[in-house]
Amino acid sequence: MQRINIYLEALKHRMDWDNFEKLRAIPNPKVHQFVAEAAELCNPKDIFICSDTPDEIAHIKHMAIASGEECAALATPGHTYHFDGYYDQGRDREITKFLVPKGNSLSPALKQIDRDEGLNEILNLLRGSMAGRTMIVRFLILGPANSIFTIPCMECTDSWYVAHSVSLLYRSGYETFLNVSVDTDFFKTLHSAGRMNERMISIDHDKKRIYIDYLTNTVYSVNTQYAGNSVGFKKLALRLAICKAYREGWLAEHFMIMGVHGPGCRKTYIGGAFPSACGKTSTAMLPGETILADDIAYVRNIDGVCRAVNAEAGIFGILQNINPTDDPLIYNLLNSPNEIIFSNALIKDAKPWWLGMGCNLPDEGVNFSGRWFKGKVGLNGKEIPPASENARYTISLKALPNCDPELDNPLGVELGAIIYGGRDYRAYVPIQQAFSWEHGIIAYGASLETETTFAITEEKGKYEINVMSIQDFVSIPLGRYVKHYLEFGKRLKKPPLIFGANYFLRDLKTGEFLNDRRDKHVWAKWIELRVHNDVGAIETPTGLIPKYEDLADLFMRVLNRKYTKEDYMRQFTIRVPENLRKIERVKEFWTTQVSDTPEELFQILDEQAKRLIKARELFGNYIPPDRFKEELLVEVKL
């Protein structure tokens, strides 16, 4: 009790009595300690403790606008907009690092820094960073309330925009913190936007740092406002959750979760892991289906059943190529009265404009670079687009008409299938089913190869392995992570079926995409049918693929479109040379970048290579799907 009094006594002069009482009501001394040490370090003029009352939530939104971090000068009620800095348009891999104590080690594929060195650096950058500003303290929970999935978390920030964003993205947690024991673990984030200019944009981009201390479950973030860097409970806390999940025997994943309707009023829940800007949110938002999660899921074995929840309660979605043809549900939502924060879009005529919205964009307006006009050149000598390629919208999931009713179910939902997909222009077919949990985890998840996109601040178009679409966030050695995944599935009575998706396959000669953006709905419907064994499949060296007649039926029923045999042949031809090269690249990664790779990974990849070589001997380098006849399966099967 004496230690509690010490921290609270230190805070008395920094906040008024009402805020002091709200903090004192929380019985966990570690909460008081974190707030007191953050205040001592960052030196705010005052502290606002948010207890999640409607008045306080409304006050935060008002202050986001009054401070200039957001602007409400948009024609549609509830819409506001925000700009991040010119050099702050996405997750920054180079300066996002794990704090690793001496004697510990992570995969060399992960960015890291000595813990003592990193703490010294970032604490010095945070020192005095909130002078003259208010420190806002938000209490939130990851996962549904009163659940085995629940993780309490708190963020201290001087950004009203960040404090407003978490109102839309997460479940309120003050009531949870009122009932936590002194032994309860929770995640903590300390964030400061740092020095800001007259547009209320962080200006010291060269001193931007995001460091994750997995020993104390703390995220530090400074000189940045981009929500992926500053909202501590997005991918930053995912890193902490992965470590916690490993210790406790569950999974924290970069998943969307959707409810896909099947025959007879059936609904099947499907999880999916895709790197940012590779189709994850648009898959979760397929018209006629329901969305339970678009980004982060926690997955547990509950009585032998694989059950999952959305760690979040809102969407921080990419605002590009959303148009009335390809994504009618999201497009209509973004043009309707709702509480939505648009970030880094073009603002003109009291409207947000974004790339690929299906109409001509204005030739001038205001964007992240300031006053913008067509042909404006940036500091890097390149022409500035009307809107950022990584423009975003922030909205509560419950604002969506297709929000799944099980969103807050404390037990989560049963997963029938898991999809792994990326931008693979060359090798994998658009959709295929793994032979087993182990085959899928290795051949589709641990082998996920993709092209880097605008969602991260580095050169686009670079191919890389992105393990399970979660590689940037894994806070334990990668080999240990994959082994944990394999063992998790073995403990399930009925593991979800595993599928590999590739929405970006190109014709090898012309370079044209072989998938339409809307085809993913057919793949999802086929997956749903496979979960219940309602349709058959053809066995190929890399997995089980759909039969033509089943896809033809689905294309007509789902998209009212004729699906030709020619389309099928082009999409589902097995490309042996490209697949063999892919296996070599994957093996090289797991040999050179990971020191603790489980032997089972190489065994499964070698078996796939042998099947491909055997198929090539039988059918040649490029094998149309109709060559895999029933009587020949013995030649290429596992």
pLDDT above 60 (res 598): yes
Strand partners, 293: 257
Contact 594, 477 (CB under 8 A): yes
For the segment 308-319, the average pLDDT, to the nearest whole number, is 95
Confidence of residue 462 (pLDDT cuts 50, 70, 90): low
Neighbours of 96 (CB within 10 A): 25
For the segment 157-167, the average pLDDT, to the nearest whole number, is 97
pLDDT above 90 (res 108): no
Q: Please state, in angstroms and rounded to a whole number, the distance separating the CA atoms of residues 166 and 395.
A: 10
Q: Please state the domain extents for the chain.
A: 2-71+91-249, 252-315+406-636
Radius of gyration of the chain (CA): 25
Q: Please state, in angstroms and rounded to a whole number, the distance separating the CA atoms of residues 556 and 564.
A: 11
Q: What is the pLDDT of residue 7?
A: 92
The DSSP-derived string for 403-415 is: B-TTTT-TT-EEE
The DSSP-derived string for 213-275 is: ETTTTEEEEES---HHHHSTTTHHHHHHHHHHHHHHT-EEE--EEEEEEEGGGEEEEEEEE--
For the segment 605-612, the average pLDDT, to the nearest whole number, is 98
If one looks up domain 2-71+91-249 in CATH, what number appears? 3.40.449.10
- Tell me how far the alpha carbon of residue 555 is from its chain's centroid: 29
Neighbours of 43 (CB within 10 A): 17
Cα angle 60, 156, 198; round to 5? 60
Lowest-confidence segment of 11-15, 404-408, 450-454, 474-478 by average pLDDT: 450-454
pLDDT above 50 (res 289): yes
If one looks up domain 252-315+406-636 in CATH, what number appears? 3.90.228.20
Closest C-alpha to 500, from 445, 547, 436: 445
Closest C-alpha to 276, from 499, 508, 458, 485: 458
Tens digit of pLDDT for each residue in 379-393? 888 999 999 999 999
List the end-to-end C-alpha distance of the chain, in Å, as a whole number.
63
Backbone angles phi, psi at 239, to 5 degrees: -60, -40
* Residue 455, amino acid: A
CA 104 to each of CA 114, 115, 215, 475: distance values in angstroms, whole numbers, following the listed order: 10, 10, 11, 11
Closest C-alpha to 261, from 252, 270, 249, 250: 270
Q: What is the pLDDT of residue 276?
A: 73
180's tokens: 């936590």
Confidence of residue 211 (pLDDT cuts 50, 70, 90): very high
The DSSP-derived string for 270-309 is: EEEE--TTSSHHHHHT-TTSEEEESS-EEEEEETTEEEEE
Q: What is the pLDDT of residue 634?
A: 39
Q: Please state, in angstroms and rounded to a whole number, the distance separating the CA atoms of residues 134 and 160.
A: 9
Lowest-confidence segment of 192-201, 270-279, 351-360 by average pLDDT: 270-279
Q: What is the pLDDT of residue 256?
A: 95
Size (the chain), residues: 638
pLDDT above 90 (res 327): no
Q: What is the pLDDT of residue 452?
A: 60
Give me the chain's average pLDDT, please: 92
CA 590 to each of CA 97, 341, 463, 558: distance values in angstroms, whole numbers, following the listed order: 21, 40, 15, 40
Closest C-alpha to 368, from 350, 391, 351: 391
Neighbours of 516 (CB within 10 A): 15
Q: What is the pLDDT of residue 455?
A: 41
pLDDT above 60 (res 258): yes
Q: Please state, in angstroms and rounded to a whole number, the distance separating the CA atoms of residues 191 and 208.
A: 11
Strands, E, within 441-524: which ranges?
A: 449-451, 463-465, 497-501
What pTM, to 2 d.p., does this model score?
0.92
- Of the chain, the percentage scoring pLDDT greater than 70 comes to 96
Active site residues: 278
pLDDT above 90 (res 591): yes
Q: Please state, in angstroms and rounded to a whole number, the distance separating the CA atoms of residues 518 and 22.
A: 50
Neighbours of 509 (CB within 10 A): 6
For the segment 398-404, the average pLDDT, to the nearest whole number, is 95
Contact 384, 330 (CB under 8 A): no
